[in-house]
Amino acid sequence: MFAAIYVPDFALQCVLRREPELRACALAIVDGGLPARVRQMTPAARERGVAPGMTTTQALGRCPALLFRNADASALASASACLLQCAESFSPWIEATGEGVVTLEWNVRPTCSRPNVGLTCSQPPASEARERPVSVPASLRSPGQTASLPHIEGAHAIVAQLAQCGFTAQVGVAATPDLALLAAHCAQPVLVVEEPGDFLADLPLETLATEGEERPPTPAAAEALAARAEIFRILRRWGLRTLGAFAALPREQVVSRLGGPAAELWDRATGRAVRLLRLVRAPEIFAEAMELEHEVETLEPLLFILRRFIEQLAARLAAAYRVAATLQLRLRFGVGASYEREFRIPAPTGAVEVLFRILETHLDNVRAEAPIVAVELSACATRQEQKQFSLFESGLRDPNKFFETLARLQALLGEGRVGTPVAEDTHRPDAFHLATPRFDDSPAALVAEAPPGPALQRYRPPLPADVQVQAGRPVRVFSEKAFGEITGCRGPWLGSGDWWTGQAWEREEWDVQVGTECYRLAQQGGTWLIEGVYD
């Protein structure tokens, strides 16, 4: 069996899924020609007399309150990818038939192994060819086929899943791809064709013109459409109005009088047309993009758009049984270079609130010199992480919330001032940098063996000091923390390194006692410093 997914007025729905508040308004989608002409419109605009092919001036004459939108290439591309990803979650064999149309072959069984899907699909082998021959099922030769419940449940599951992504879809199920496409155009919203003859008999001839192709035709396609229109004109002059009347004619006589293109139409009218599926794979990138009608200058409208993007991406990820591992944000400004930032998700998730807080926390401290004219948000998908801890181990209760707190601290204190200290690969004393904490290592690897003796509490930054020296040994120190005669002294310990780079260093260190406290003194470049105090 085959199923065809048809999204009516695909360009219009691409716009409405980004701006759902316009569904009840008089809205028209225009092409990029000069003059611009109406391609699709909402029911409110159609009720006011707006029709496809009108120029914008003619449409405004019928409806002065009419709004215009242009479905940009980025919106169509992301919506097409969403449609393919949804179809691939039901069957591995899918075809991008046209704009807003996907045909898939599926093998359904009564046992449901997927939640909220209602059907089970077998996966293709690794050596599966990109084109698979389609045989005519026996159901076309013997009427009386009964639609099984899994087909109906699966078709409704497709409609429900696309509704979560913002699409209103129709699904037709039949024995051949072309028959399934015709059923999809007649579905409300699901139609399973059991007997092709009964289904096709009363359909008008113009139904055969349905190709699922709504984008501007190529010259070759325009020529084929003109030839098909001429065939329809001749058939109407013969008094034929339905597919049943057309199918009653002998095929040989139709071909001899109307030519080869009429043979294809006759095969489709009888439900016997078979063809190869041009198999494709759904893209692995989950992205949403939008060219803004009006420039965005404040944070609130940008967050509103991003919230909608995240909701759509979360629905698409859930349909593919994936979660987001990273988020890639790209903002294009009216003037200057674009802004790009990648966000690593500490615990990959598909939760809308968690993903939105990550973006909101970062954007609170972003300042732009020009208005935003385009927004793009993409997610890198991965499988849900599962980790088994030992008896006395545990992870963070909410890693994403913990890292959100770190992001807020970093925004408050500045870049590079929040994190876990990590020793650098050098002998320079107290050389370290701050890194993002990691909790996926074992506790044994995180605990370092404590050195023997008292611990040194370092002053950061080290305190400047004035030191008197006799016979090469410090005897008195004057500083903020230590003041007076040195009663005990050990050293010096000499050190140097990084002479092969541009950051060479050389220093001497002393441990001294002043009163009841012990301090670490260091001399570097002729300057004395108090490095710290011993416990």
Q: How confident is the model at residue 33 (pLDDT cuts 50, 70, 90)?
A: confident
Query: Do 166 and 214 contact (CB within 8 A), yes or no?
Result: no
Write down the pLDDT at residue 446.
46
Write down the pLDDT at residue 523.
87
Write down the pLDDT at residue 331.
92
Write down the pLDDT at residue 148.
62
Higher model confidence: residue 365 or residue 444?
Answer: 365
Amino acid symbol at 145: Q
Partner residues linked to 367 by β-bridges: none
Write down the pLDDT at residue 117.
41
Lowest-pLDDT range of 144-148, 301-305, 363-367: 144-148
Residue 116, pLDDT > 60, answer: no
Write down the pLDDT at residue 4.
93
Q: What is the mean pLDDT of residues 61-83?
A: 88
Higher model confidence: residue 83 or residue 438?
Answer: 83
Write down the pLDDT at residue 49.
92
Least Cα distance to 1 among 155, 164, 201, 173 occurs for 173
How far is residue 272's CA from residue 196's CA, in Å, rounded to a whole number? 9
How far is residue 203's CA from residue 262's CA, in Å, rounded to a whole number? 17
Q: What is the mean pLDDT of residues 103-110?
A: 74
Residue 77 burial class via C-beta count within 10 angstroms: exposed 0-12, middle 13-18, buried 19 and up = middle
Convert the pLDDT of each residue in 309-322 to its tens digit.
999 899 888 888 88
Convert the pLDDT of each residue in 34-45 to its tens digit.
888 999 999 999
Write down the pLDDT at residue 142.
33
Residue 389, pLDDT > 80, answer: no
How far is residue 173's CA from residue 414's CA, in Å, rounded to a whole number? 58
Write down the pLDDT at residue 480.
85
Q: SS3 of 378, please?
A: strand
Residue 253, pLDDT > 50, answer: yes
Q: Is the pTM for the entire model greater than 0.85?
A: no
Write down the pLDDT at residue 328.
92
- DSSP codes joined into one string, 455-512: PEEEEEEEEEEEEEEETTEEEEEEESS-EEE--EEEEEEEEEE-TTSS--EEEEEEEE
Q: How confident is the model at residue 114 (pLDDT cuts 50, 70, 90)?
A: very low
Q: How confident is the model at residue 445 (pLDDT cuts 50, 70, 90)?
A: very low
Q: How confident is the model at residue 217 (pLDDT cuts 50, 70, 90)?
A: low
Write down the pLDDT at residue 17.
86
How far is residue 168's CA from residue 6's CA, in Å, rounded to a whole number? 9
Least Cα distance to 309 among 325, 294, 295, 328 occurs for 328
Write down the pLDDT at residue 440.
56
Q: How confident is the model at residue 138 (pLDDT cuts 50, 70, 90)?
A: very low
Write down the pLDDT at residue 115.
40
Q: How confident is the model at residue 18 (pLDDT cuts 50, 70, 90)?
A: confident
Q: How confident is the model at residue 102 (pLDDT cuts 50, 70, 90)?
A: very high
Q: How confident is the model at residue 121 (pLDDT cuts 50, 70, 90)?
A: very low
Write down the pLDDT at residue 529.
87
Residue 398, pLDDT > 60, answer: yes
Write down the pLDDT at residue 12.
92
Residue 118, pLDDT > 50, answer: no
Q: How confident is the model at residue 19 (pLDDT cuts 50, 70, 90)?
A: confident
Estimate to the nearest angstrom the gap between the alpha carbon of 172 and the chain centroid.
27
Q: What is the mean pLDDT of residues 481-501?
A: 85
- Please, which residues have CB within 8 angstroms of residue 476's CB and are 6 or more apart in sequence? 467, 468, 484, 485, 486
Convert the pLDDT of each residue in 180-208 to its tens digit.
998 999 888 999 888 888 888 888 887 87
Estimate to the nearest angstrom the gap between the alpha carbon of 306 and the chain centroid.
12
Helices 399-413 and 352-363 cross at an angle (nearest 10°) of 10
Percent of the chain whose predicted confidence (pLDDT) is above 90: 18
Q: How confident is the model at residue 119 (pLDDT cuts 50, 70, 90)?
A: very low
